[in-house]
Amino acid sequence: MQLEVGQAKSTNENMEISTILLKLTAKNIAQELALREGLLNPLNRVMAARLDFEERKFILKCYWKYENAVEVQRQFRREFNKEPPTRVTITRIRDKFEADGIVQDAH
C-alpha cells in the first residue's frame, strides 16, 4: 500500500486527534470514578448552592452531636440527598453561630 504525501499527513493528523480524544476520554473516566468513590468533590468545579435555614440548623445539630465535620457531611448527604457543604463551610457556620448566635451566611 502506497500513501501519497497528502494522505500521510491526513493519517497522522487523524492519529493525533484519536490519541487526544482517547486521553480526554480516559481523563473523564478517571474523574467520574473519583467522583463515585468520593475522592473528588464536585463542588470544586462549580459554585456551591446557598444553604437554607433548615440545612444550616441541621449542620449545627450534627456538629454538636458528632463534633466532626466529615461525619456532618455524611449525615447531610443522607438527610438531604445532595452534596454536602465543604468542611470549611461547616466550621464557618459553627464559628459564626458560636461568635454571633446566628446561622446566617458565614461569609
Average pLDDT, integer, range 1-12: 60
Which grid coordinates are listed for 77? 448527604
Distances 38 to 43, 73, 77 between C-alpha atoms, Å? 12, 12, 12
Judge whether 72 lies within some domain.
yes
Judge whether 71 lies within some domain.
yes
- Of the candidates 94, 95, 55, 91, the residue with the CA atom closest to the CA atom of residue 75: 55
- Provide the pLDDT for residue 96: 92
What would the pLDDT profile of 61-105 be if each residue is shown by its tens digit? 999 999 999 999 999 999 999 999 999 999 999 999 999 998 876
Confidence (pTM): 0.55
Is the same domain home to 72 and 95? yes
Average pLDDT, integer, range 27-51: 67
Contact 85, 76 (CB under 8 A): yes
Is the same domain home to 25 and 62? no
- Provide the pLDDT for residue 104: 75
- Provide the pLDDT for residue 102: 87
- Provide the pLDDT for residue 63: 97
Is the same domain home to 56 and 86? yes
Is the same domain home to 54 and 34? no
Rounded CA gap, 76 and 55, in Å? 8
pLDDT confidence bin for 17, thresholds 50/70/90:
confident
Q: How many domains is the chain built from?
A: 2
- Provide the pLDDT for residue 74: 97
Is the same domain home to 28 and 64? no
Range of the domain at 75: 49-100
